[in-house]
């Protein structure tokens, strides 16, 4: 959720979060709220849209690598388990927190598929 507009964008006067317009200069606060909501929506969409493959920067998401890890985890769980742990440790060593978490998630997926295949697949197919 976008943060409420607490100050007039035109004159800086404090306004209530529910005011339709500024009491001092008459600026349209509804428009300001909409613009702010559009801005924050744009920001949250830009994050996953800018993957850099092999960039190696903290927080970068390598979607191809995640897709491969998940596919292997589902197709060949024992291999996915080992690969996921291996990739997670490598990403952790490189300081890539987001990818470490993603690889651990793929590992957990492989572990679930390996340890409880019937439970896992029946839940997956019934969602």
**Residue closer to Zn ion (CB basis): 25 or 38:** 25
Nearer to Zn ion, 22 or 113 (CB): 22
What are the residues binding Zn ion (CB under 5 A)? 8, 10-11, 13, 22, 24-25, 27
Q: Which is nearer to Zn ion, 22 or 69 (CB)?
A: 22
Q: Assign residue 63 a region (left: φ > 0; alpha: ψ between -120 and 50; beta: otherwise).
A: alpha
24 in Cβ contact with 8 (< 8 Å): yes
Residues 106/84, Cβ–Cβ less than 8 Å: yes
Task: Give me the least distance between CB of 40 and Zn ion, in Å please.
Answer: 22
């Amino acid at each position: 959720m976008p943060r409420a507009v607490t100050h007039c964008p035109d004159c800086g006067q404090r306004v209530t979060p529910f005011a339709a317009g500024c009491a001092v200069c008459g600026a349209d606060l509804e428009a300001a709220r909409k613009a702010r909501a559009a801005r924050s929506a744009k920001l949250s969409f830009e994050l996953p849209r800018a993957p850099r493959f092999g960039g190696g920067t903290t927080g970068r998401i390598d979607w191809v690598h995640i897709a491969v890890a998940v596919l292997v985890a589902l197709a060949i769980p024992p291999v996915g388990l080992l690969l996921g742990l291996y990739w997670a440790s490598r990403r952790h060593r490189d300081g890539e927190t987001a990818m470490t978490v993603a690889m651990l998630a793929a590992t957990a997926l492989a572990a679930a598929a390996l340890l409880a295949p019937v439970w896992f697949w029946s839940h997956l197919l019934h969602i």
